[in-house]
């Protein structure tokens, strides 16, 4: 009999993790270093100092039933402190991002007549572009010293940018939290330690969503917040495979609070069957699976989920 040890295992991470033990999980929050909205009705104007971000579709209107054009928003979060904190807590870059959320404080009735209102859907995208300037414009005195509606097409790249989900506002004052899809490029950008940029745009005509920006207040109760939840990398790996008489023993180590599943197949391209499962444990441990030799050739691989 020949046995194969597949050294490359995969990790399947769900958006909503289980509760981990102390030292295995960390949550880090970060406020923006820049945020602003742009407006189709004033395509060369900047509103980076407005104290708000806003997303509006074509059917949303303000308090006096006027349509003020389409609104999109941009937010940039610095990741350097997030990465350094996770490195110090979980091990130097030996961690995985389990989930991320964007939290915004909605203004149901924004005081400026420039803002449209309405409950509807909007989309959050991760964008690759970092080179936009927040600017200092406000609704009553817009400027040209930052990003504008006309600049947005040059910032978007359909080949790279990733949708992180569609969400709905509430239409009343209060903080809303949105679970972002942990897409590969977004997660890689978080782990890189550089800036992470989000683009918010209408997904339905009736949405008119205005939220407080970093310029409104320094209080964490008001500003946009990006929260990242990470866990110790389980590093799935088969450590040993030993033939002893008519039995084969497969050994591997586990990291706390991850579910490990050992699988077997008679071909790398064949059907893989689960042969052993190690449930989430409170402490690290070593596991050995022993079974009788059943064929001329067998491959083993290890999967990890959370």
Given pLDDT bands bounded at 50, 70 and 90, which one contains residue 17? very low
Q: Which pLDDT tens digit goes with each residue over 20-51? A: 333 478 999 999 999 999 999 999 999 999 99
User: What does the pLDDT read at residue 25?
Assistant: 83
Q: What is the DSSP letter of 21?
A: P
Mean pLDDT of 163-191: 96
79 and 139 housed in the same domain: yes
CA angle 262, 265, 271 (to 5 degrees): 105
Structure confidence at residue 9 (pLDDT): 35
Tokens 């550089």, residue located: 194
Q: Are 240 and 197 members of one domain? A: no
Q: Is residue 210 part of a domain?
A: yes
Answer with the residue of higher pLDDT: 1 or 43.
43
Q: Check residue 270 and give its pLDDT.
A: 83
pLDDT tens-digit map of 71-113:
999 999 999 999 999 999 998 888 999 999 999 999 999 999 9
Q: Hey, how many other C-beta atoms are within 10 angstroms of the C-beta on 54?
A: 29
User: Do 39 and 88 sit in the same domain of this protein?
Assistant: yes
**Residue 287 · residue 260 · CB < 8 Å:** yes
**Is residue 25 situated within a structural domain?**
no
Mean pLDDT of 216-235: 85
What's residue 218's pLDDT? 62
**pLDDT per residue as tens digits for the range 260-272:** 899 988 888 889 9
For residues 228 and 248, membership in a common domain is answered with no
Q: Give domain status of residue 115, yes or no.
A: yes
Q: Count CB atoms within 10 A of the CB of residue 211.
A: 26
Instruction: For residue 26, tell me if it sits in a domain.
Output: no
> Side-chain half-sphere of 53: how many Cα atoms within 13 Å?
24
Domain limits for position 253: 2-20+234-305
Which of 262, 264, 285 lies closest to 273 in space, CA to CA? 264
User: pTM, whole model, 2 decimals?
Assistant: 0.80
74 plus 15 within the same structural domain: no
Q: Is residue 301 included in any domain, yes or no? A: yes
Give pLDDT, residue 295.
67
How many domains in the chain? Answer: 2
pLDDT higher than threshold 90 for residue 137: yes
């Amino acid at each position: 009999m020949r046995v194969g040890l597949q050294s490359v295992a995969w990790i399947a991470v769900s958006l909503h993790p289980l509760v981990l033990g102390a030292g295995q999980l960390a949550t880090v929050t970060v406020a923006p270093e820049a945020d602003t909205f742009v407006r189709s009705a004033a395509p060369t104007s900047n509103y980076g100092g407005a104290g708000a971000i806003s997303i509006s579709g074509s059917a949303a209107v303000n308090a006096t039933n006027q349509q003020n054009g389409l609104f999109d928003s941009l937010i940039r979060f610095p990741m350097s402190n997030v990465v350094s904190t996770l490195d110090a807590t979980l091990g130097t870059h030996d961690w995985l991002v389990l989930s991320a959320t964007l939290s915004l404080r909605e203004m149901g009735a924004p005081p400026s007549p420039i803002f449209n209102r309405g409950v509807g859907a909007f989309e959050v995208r991760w964008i690759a572009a970092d080179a936009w300037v927040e600017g200092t414009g406000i609704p009553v005195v817009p400027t040209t010293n930052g990003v504008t509606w006309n600049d947005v097409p040059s910032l978007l790249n359909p080949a790279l940018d990733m949708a992180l989900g569609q969400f709905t506002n509430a239409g009343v004052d209060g903080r809303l939290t949105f679970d972002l899809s942990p897409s590969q490029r977004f997660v890689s950008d978080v782990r890189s330690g550089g800036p992470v940029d989000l683009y918010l745009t209408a997904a339905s005509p009736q949405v008119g969503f205005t939220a407080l920006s970093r310029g409104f207040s320094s209080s964490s109760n008001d500003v946009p917040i990006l929260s990242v939840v990470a866990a110790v990398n389980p590093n799935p790996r088969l450590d040993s495979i030993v033939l002893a008489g008519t039995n084969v023993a497969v050994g591997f180590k586990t990291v706390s609070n991850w579910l490990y599943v050992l699988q077997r197949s008679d071909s790398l391209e064949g059907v893989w069957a689960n042969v052993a499962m190690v449930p989430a444990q409170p402490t690290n441990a070593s596991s050995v699976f022993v079974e009788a030799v059943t064929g001329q050739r067998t491959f083993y691989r290890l999967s990890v989920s959370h």
